[in-house]
Amino acid sequence: MKANDGNNEIILKVENVHKIYAQGTSAEVHALQGISLEVRKGEMVAIMGPSGCGKTTLLNIIGGLDRYTSGKVWLAGREISTYASEELARFRAKNIGFIFQLFNLFPFLTALENVMVPLLLFTDHRTARRAAESVLRELGMGGFFGHLPGELSGGQQQRVAVARALVTNPKIILGDEPTGDLDSTTAADIIYLFRRINRERGQTFVLVTHNRWIAEQCDRILHIDDGVIVKEEIPKPITLV
Ligand SMILES: Nc1ncnc2c1ncn2[C@@H]1O[C@H](COP(=O)(O)OP(=O)(O)O)[C@@H](O)[C@H]1O
Ligand SMILES: [Mg+2]
């Protein structure tokens, strides 16, 4: 059974989005060329495509980190260009979880403190601490609260980054090659972890990956080339133990 069975709410809709960098200069780059897609609540979607095809640009636009040149993006029912920039920052902090290839943890904060950071924008220290502890335990990191990122393995650091993305209970988690810097065994651990979070919490994921096997663990694969979707694929259902 798919995690999105019985729930057809569209959480993300991208419609005919163009992104032109350095518009009007000789360095103009048309990174997104009228891309459209939809993601349902509880879906786990993979995005694949050659280097430079616009994957990161797309994720940054979905996540409200970058503005688009034209088109429309709805996240959780609202068109994101209608947000004032401060409002967008608050919406983003609460509703969008980012996971990056190189983890991007704060090196001088402990695992627990890293996970508390996004919550401290909304809540008091004590509540943030309790919530961060609970998510770290859920991800098997209960014994590492006081460790600095440099004292953790790559897979453990990515678990902390996943906990940080998850702790605000976001509407969507965006991963930009989240397993790209991990060996294949650890990458498999992380994608199984995403799958578990997806099933247990109904968490929606959009994951950019270069790895065919990782993409096949998702519900749907969108292939991008030259700033548009060129193919959509439903991988064979997988069985998890
Ligand atoms: N900030 C930027 N300024 C100018 N060009 C950019 C910028 N970011 C990305 N690009 C260009 O846009 C295109 C798409 O880039 P990107 O979205 O990073 O691709 P991908 O993540 O698929 O490798 C590339 O040609 C890239 O060089
Ligand atoms: Mg990229």
What domains appear along the chain, each with residue ranges and CATH number?
42-64+85-233 (3.40.50.300)
Return the pLDDT at 22.
92
Q: How far apart are CA 38 and CA 220, in angstroms?
A: 11
Q: Which-ligand-closest: CA of 52?
A: 1
The answer on pLDDT for 68 being more than 90 is: yes
Alpha carbon nearest to ligand 1 atom 26, residue: 52
> Ligand 2 centroid vs 156 CA: distance in angstroms?
23
Residues 53 and 35 sit within 8 Å (Cβ to Cβ): no
pLDDT (average), residues 208-237:
95
Q: How far is CA 213 from the centre of its chain?
A: 18
Question: What is the rounded CA–CA span in Å between residue 10 and residue 40?
Answer: 4
Closest ligand to C-alpha of residue 54 is 1
Nearest CA to ligand 1 atom 20: 52
Give the Cα separation of 28 and 86 in Å (integer).
28
Is the distance from CB of 104 to CB of 178 less than 8 angstroms? Answer: no
pTM reported for the whole predicted model: 0.93
3-state secondary structure of 26: coil
Judged against a pLDDT cut of 70, whether residue 138 lies above it is answered with: yes
Q: What is the mean pLDDT of the chain?
A: 93
Cα 75 from Cα 77, distance rounded (Å): 5
Cα 177 to middle of ligand 1, angstroms: 15
Q: What is the mean pLDDT of residues 56-68?
A: 94
pLDDT for residue 1: 43
Predicted local confidence at residue 4, as pLDDT: 45
